[in-house]
Chain A
Amino acid sequence: MRQVDVSTIRDEVARLSQETNYYLDEEILAAFEKGRDEDESSAARAVFEQLLENARIAAEEQVPMCQDTGTAVVFVELGQEVELVGGYLEDAINEGVSRGYTEGYLRKSIVEGPADKRKNTGDNTPAVIHTRIVPGDQVKITLAPKGGGSENMSRIQMMKPADGREGIKDFVVKTVVEAGPNPCPPVIVGVGIGGNFEKAAQLAKEALLEPINEEEKDSEMPELEREILEEINKSGVGPQGFGGRTTALGVNIKTYPCHIASLPVAVNINCHAARHQSVIL
């Protein structure tokens, strides 16, 4: 068994908390540049110009690109030949989030007693942690801070098998278009199809971790992704909802086999501040 000390995981989570919030992915920046140069709406082009300037300031000054530095969503792929030592995994992750958010001047957005007290926990913990045991002797940590505005516009529907491909398409497009300006378009759309109620939601979230460029992504349903993206961008909502051709930058679909009676479909919307980074230990 290979031993990994959880303090390493803590330190990496702290680092990733900050770096995901300061630096935007190259592919998102490239999509902003394309929008600035090509969207036929002047309001849209102006928004892209501001987003590029904003990303430049955030990276240069090492401040978060958005004040909503999100719920810390952490994916752990733990090799089954790894023995974790030095403490409990989830404690280490939460210590990393606490340190990263405090030392990085990131906003603390988590409240406990969600139904009534709603008291801020003060250090953005607890994280939402998804752990999967995988073959091998490595540990992969992915941090994906997720803002509240776009999360609030996400939906899940237990569809009928008869609704099929067209039904799925209509539901996804409707979800994004009806969200309009609220989730901070241009958005990235994660779609989970199949599994069951909770599996579909998790697939949709995982789909947001995939690249949006067709050349880079390993797509399960490239044609459906393309059709949905095209329909969304016909809506006219545009960046910030000010009107334009770029309402979504990408659509990613993940699927899983499901029950003969079911067709669960989840749509997780990400704002343009699409933040996620991974490290392999």
Chain B
Amino acid sequence: MTKKISTPLDDETVAQLKAGDKVLLSGTVYTARDAAHERLIKLLEAGEELPIEIEGAVIYYVGPAPAKPGYVIGPAGPTTSYRMDPYTPQLLEVGLKGMIGKGSRSRGIRDLLQKHKAVYFGAVGGAAALISSSIKESEVVAYEDLGTEAIRRLKVEDFPLMVVDDINGDDLYEQGVEKYKIKQEV
């Protein structure tokens, strides 16, 4: 079954999401990857305001390709998420509710998702041209100098995702391997 959800995310919405669920996400999503995260954390450490509305926000780990003329955005698939693990705790503290990327998160981040009632979604890595068709608007809201790594506010419609890590501590990747691993005969 596919669940349709919208941003901003609240506790109630997040609580009904289970690892392995297919989700279609609509609403506002902010892009940020390594360099933008570093700057966001510096702002938090200096006690300054963030350039995005973090309460209930969803961050998409992506550095899109440039848009061809007539396109809203270029191909925009997920980047590998573990690189953002060092920055994620502080963003969860201030209200981040969802992250979209690909690949495993650390045990520490998974524990914090349970604590803060937040969720980690996987998008299909490498399906970038397909994913960009769910992105209806794109506007740079911070760090334009970072080029592809700038923070963009995206308006998405029915962005296809899988719930990877939920608030119960379950993990889609572990479940997948558990189900399909061919065990050694002893």
- Chain A interfacial positions (CB closer than 8 Å to B): 40-41, 43, 47, 50-51, 53-54, 57-58, 61, 63-69, 105-109, 118, 120, 122, 148-149, 152, 180-184, 234-238, 240-245, 271-273
Contact = CB atoms under 8 A, between A and B. Distances in A.
24 contacts: A40-B180, A41-B176, A41-B179, A54-B124, A57-B133, A58-B129, A66-B75, A67-B77, A68-B128, A69-B65, A105-B66, A120-B148, A180-B177, A181-B102, A182-B80, A182-B82, A182-B104, A234-B182, A235-B181, A236-B180, A240-B125, A241-B104, A243-B173, A245-B180
Contacts of B98: none
A64 B129 contact: yes
B105 to A, nearest CB: 10
Given A43-B176, A181-B173, A107 B64 contact: yes
Contacts of A53: 127, 130
A95 B163 CA distance: 43
Interface string B13-33: 000000010000000000000
Given A57-B133, A109-B148, A65 B35 contact: no
Interface string B157-171: 000101000000000
B103 interface: yes
A240 B130 contact: no
Sorted from nearest, which 4 A-B pairs have the closest CB atoms?
A: A243-B176, A236-B180, A236-B181, A182-B103
Interface in B96-151: 102-104, 122, 124-130, 132-133, 146-149
Contacts, number: 164
Contacts of A234: 181-182
Nearest to B67: A105
Contact of A50 (B67, B74, B122, B127): B127
A50 B147 contact: no
Nearest to B162: A242
Contact of B147 (A58, A120, A183): A120
A144 B178 CA distance: 35
Interface in B69-98: 71, 74-77, 79-80, 82
Contacts of B133: 57
A180 B181 contact: no
Contacts of B126: 51, 54, 65-66, 184, 271-273
Given A65-B126, A181-B104, A234-B182, A109 B63 contact: yes
B173 A241 contact: yes
B77 A66 contact: yes
B74 A64 contact: yes
Nearest to A111: B35
Nearest to B178: A236
B172 interface: yes
Contacts of A242: 122, 162, 172-173, 176
Given A236-B181, A240-B124, A244-B176, 10 more contacts: A41-B176, A43-B176, A63-B132, A67-B76, A69-B65, A107-B148, A181-B104, A243-B176, A243-B178, A245-B180
Contact of A64 (B35, B65, B79, B175): B65
A251 to B, nearest CB: 17
A243 B122 contact: no
Nearest to B80: A149
A184 B102 contact: yes
A41 B173 contact: no
B175 A243 contact: yes
Contact of B177 (A108, A149, A152, A237): A237
B8 to A, nearest CB: 25
B127 A243 contact: no
Contacts of A122: 147
Contacts of B71: 63
B145 to A, nearest CB: 9
Contacts of B160: 50
A67 B180 contact: no
